[in-house]
């Protein structure tokens, strides 16, 4: 049987090439880069149905094979390649005759004329960033940072210190008192935890005011979900204070943040710490399921308490002429937390991990697609 080649769409800038391989649900993608070529193979759903596909391309000029990468997504595979010399190529392949399955990606196509039209005004501070920083340091004695960046550094540092304080207190008490300290967890660090959790609502406002990228919706639901458990399910029910699950959920939440905030600090300072990046996008794999389980247990333990106290329940008759059953709400919340909620959170983090850690490298490496 002849080798099947997928449809490949290519585009370029002066510095880079982008190859989009039209394969859905790809498995076992492999890309071998050399300075003059790429050899690709994968199993997936392409132009000829579900099959094994492969192709080889010999480039028009040399590429930086050491930094060539590829990323697998649900409906395509993208090969991201940097040209060895920044120049516009008249064609992708070495020979004038191109393969029939190689197409131009017109949605992303750029020419030299387009680049000139789109070129933004240059900033000498960016063109000579190091020289400008040295000059600024000689003149002022220090390097001026943007107010937003300084604020974000102090915010992330303060949050890291807050969660570190909580973990240190819990650790010292556990070392001193053993398992007897578990029942006193909320009494010892409950107020500190409420403080840092309320501060996290600043992360909802950061994207709204342009301090960070992204939407405010995601951090709002993440912070509100955790605060729902902390304030309504634990703080307002004294019988929950001594439950071991409170100790466990505090440990899990704190461990997540003790990795997240140092990672953000490193990004703000322009430092790439490999171990920290790996922890940021890996530690959630054991911690998130355990956190969801602990939150579910806390909600479940609250149901009989709320049935007894009728807390948050609105019964008829009343002046508003409405009714609200908090017990029913908690049961629905529990189902949403366990099923779609956990799936959405885990799949979102899996995609982020694939994007950050799952890129193919120049050397032969199999890229496993996360389902």
Pair of tokens at residue 180: 């007897």
Q: Are residues 103 and 158 in the same domain?
A: no
Last residue of a domain, one of 60, 94, 111: 111
Least confident of 40-44, 84-88, 260-264, 366-370: 366-370
Maximum separation of any 2 CA atoms in the chain, in Å: 83
Average pLDDT over residues 22-27: 90
The predicted structure's pLDDT at residue 360: 43
Catalytic residue (one of 295, 305, 307, 333): 295
The predicted structure's pLDDT at residue 126: 57
The predicted structure's pLDDT at residue 332: 92
Give domain status of residue 367, yes or no.
no
Q: What percent of the chain has pLDDT over 70?
A: 86
Q: b/e for 9-23, b at 16 or more Cβ within 10 A?
A: bbbbbeeebebbbbb
Give domain status of residue 249, yes or no.
yes
Catalytic-residue membership of 295: yes
Q: Are residues 179 and 281 in the same domain?
A: yes
Q: Are residues 225 and 326 in the same domain?
A: yes
Last residue of a domain, one of 94, 111, 128: 111
Q: Are residues 83 and 226 in the same domain?
A: no
pLDDT tens, 268-314? 888 888 899 999 999 999 999 999 999 999 999 999 999 999 999 99
Please state, in angstroms and rounded to a whole number, the distance separating the CA atoms of residues 75 and 20.
10
Catalytic residue (one of 211, 263, 288, 305): 288
Catalytic-residue membership of 85: no
Give domain status of residue 176, yes or no.
yes
The predicted structure's pLDDT at residue 131: 58
Give domain status of residue 35, yes or no.
yes
- Among candidates 55, 61, 56, which has minimal Cα distance to 94? 61
Q: Are residues 83 and 190 in the same domain?
A: no
pLDDT tens, 112-147? 555 444 445 555 455 555 655 555 555 455 445 578
Packing angle, helices 147-177 and 185-199, rounded to 10: 170
Q: Are residues 168 and 308 in the same domain?
A: yes
Q: How confident is the model at residue 200 (pLDDT cuts 50, 70, 90)?
A: very high
Please state, in angstroms and rounded to a whole number, the distance separating the CA atoms of residues 54 and 46.
11
Q: Are residues 175 and 79 in the same domain?
A: no
Give domain status of residue 242, yes or no.
yes
For 311, list phi and psi in degrees, rounded to 5.
-65, 135
- 3-state SS of the chain is CCCECCCEEEEECCCEEEEEECCEEEEEEEEEECCCEEEEEEEEEECCEEEEEEEEEEECCCECHHHCEEEECCCCEEEEEEECCCCCCCCCECCCCCCCCEEECCCCCCCHHHHHHHCCCCCHHHHCHHHHHHHHHHHHCCCCCCHHHHHHHHHHHHHHHHHHHHHHHHHHHHHHHHHHHHHHHHHHHHHHHHHHHHHCCHHHHHHHCCCCCCCCHHHHHHHHHHHHHHHHHHHCCHHHCCCHHHHHHHHHHHHHHHHHHHHHHHHHCCCCCHHHHHHHCCCHHHHHHHHHHHHHHHHHHHHHHHHHHCCCCECCCCCCCCCECHHHHHHHHHHHHHHHHHHHHHHHHHHHHHHHHCCCCCCCCEECCCC
The predicted structure's pLDDT at residue 363: 39
Give domain status of residue 363, yes or no.
no
Task: For the chain, give the mean pLDDT.
Answer: 85
- Cβ pair 292, 337 in contact under 8 A: yes
Average pLDDT over residues 103-118: 63
Q: Are residues 170 and 314 in the same domain?
A: yes
Q: How confident is the model at residue 215 (pLDDT cuts 50, 70, 90)?
A: confident
Give domain status of residue 192, yes or no.
yes
Give domain status of residue 210, yes or no.
yes
For 200, list phi and psi in degrees, rounded to 5.
-65, -15
Total tally of structural domains belonging to the chain: 2
- Among candidates 9, 30, 14, 119, which has minimal Cα distance to 72? 30
Q: Are residues 30 and 155 in the same domain?
A: no
Please state, in angstroms and rounded to a whole number, the distance separating the CA atoms of residues 204 and 91.
46
Q: Are residues 86 and 175 in the same domain?
A: no
Last residue of a domain, one of 93, 111, 129: 111
Segments forming the whole domain that contains residue 227: 147-339
CATH of the domain at 73: 2.60.40.790
Q: Are residues 57 and 196 in the same domain?
A: no
Q: What percent of the chain has pLDDT over 90?
A: 55
Least confident of 226-235, 341-350, 362-371: 362-371
Please state, in angstroms and rounded to a whole number, the distance separating the CA atoms of residues 44 and 371.
13
Q: Are residues 245 and 333 in the same domain?
A: yes
Q: How confident is the model at residue 264 (pLDDT cuts 50, 70, 90)?
A: very high
- Cβ pair 181, 169 in contact under 8 A: no
């Amino acid at each position: 049987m002849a080798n099947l080649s997928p449809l490949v769409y290519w585009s370029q800038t002066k510095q880079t090439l982008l190859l989009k391989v039209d394969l859905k649900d790809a498995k076992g993608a492999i890309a071998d880069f050399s300075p003059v070529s790429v050899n690709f193979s994968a199993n997936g759903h392409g132009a000829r149905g579900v099959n094994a596909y492969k192709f080889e391309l010999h480039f028009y000029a040399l590429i930086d094979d050491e930094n060539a990468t590829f990323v697998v997504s649900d409906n395509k595979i993208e090969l991201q390649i940097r040209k060895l010399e920044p120049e516009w190529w008249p064609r992708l392949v070495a020979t004038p005759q191109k393969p029939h399955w190689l197409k131009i990606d017109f949605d992303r196509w750029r020419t030299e004329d387009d680049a000139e039209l789109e070129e933004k005004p240059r900033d000498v501070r960016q063109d000579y960033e190091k020289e400008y920083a040295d000059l600024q340091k000689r003149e002022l004695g220090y390097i001026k940072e943007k107010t937003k960046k300084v604020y974000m550094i102090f915010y992330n540092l303060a949050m890291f210190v807050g969660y570190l304080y909580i973990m240190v207190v819990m650790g010292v008490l556990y070392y001193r008192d053993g398992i007897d300290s578990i029942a006193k967890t909320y009494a010892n660090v409950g107020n500190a935890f409420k403080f840092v959790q309320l501060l996290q609502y600043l992360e909802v406002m950061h994207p709204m005011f342009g301090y960070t990228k992204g939407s405010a919706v995601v951090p709002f639901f993440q912070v509100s979900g955790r605060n729902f458990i902390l304030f309504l399910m634990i703080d307002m029910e004294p019988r929950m204070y001594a439950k071991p699950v409170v100790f466990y959920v505090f440990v899990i939440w704190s461990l997540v943040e003790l990795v997240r905030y140092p990672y953000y600090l490193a990004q703000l300072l322009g430092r790439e710490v490999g171990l920290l990046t790996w922890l940021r996008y890996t530690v959630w794999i054991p911690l998130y399921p355990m956190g969801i389980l602990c939150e579910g247990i806390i909600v479940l333990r609250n149901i009989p308490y709320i049935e007894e106290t009728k807390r948050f329940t609105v019964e008829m008759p009343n002046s508003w002429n409405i009714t609200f059953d908090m017990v029913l709400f908690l049961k629905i919340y529990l189902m949403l937390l366990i099923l779609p909620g956990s799936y959405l959170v885990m799949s979102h983090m899996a995609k982020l991990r694939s994007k950050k850690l799952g890129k193919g490298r120049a050397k032969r490496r199999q890229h496993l697609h996360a389902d």
